Amino acid sequence: MKSFSKKQVTGNNVKNQLVMKIISENKIQQDIVMWYKNNFCLKHHNPRQCIFSVPNDSINAIETKRKVNTGLLTGVSDLIVLHNGECLFIEVKTSTGKQQESQKDFENTVTLQGFKYYLVRSLEDFKNIITNI
């Protein structure tokens, strides 16, 4: 039986926690996109609304460099929603997730220009925003 040092176990725990956080944020984001598309983005909706993500992750340094050269913006919100004539920027976090500095900078940039930026932690948070606009 293989034994693990405390450092190895701790390192694996941190990695597992990071993976679970990503999965949780992805799940929240998927729920939001599915709900919004089904309620506002179908062809029979008039006016038809729009929700989309901006994939900011890269597999390697070459892909990152290509994306930077074509407009990758660090900190951009997870979702952009065009809803009833407004452009909403939605950042998805878990209940314990915190914004990175680049995300705070992006929030500041868009809000200073008069756009709405929201930090949501659940589908219910998102539904509340949409129903109160």
User: Per-residue pLDDT tens for 30-70?
Assistant: 999 999 999 999 999 999 999 999 888 788 999 989 988 99
How many residues does this entry show for the chain?
Answer: 133
CA 67 – CA 83 distance, rounded (Å): 27
- Give the tokens for residue 5: 């040092």
| Predicted TM-score of the model (pTM) | 0.80
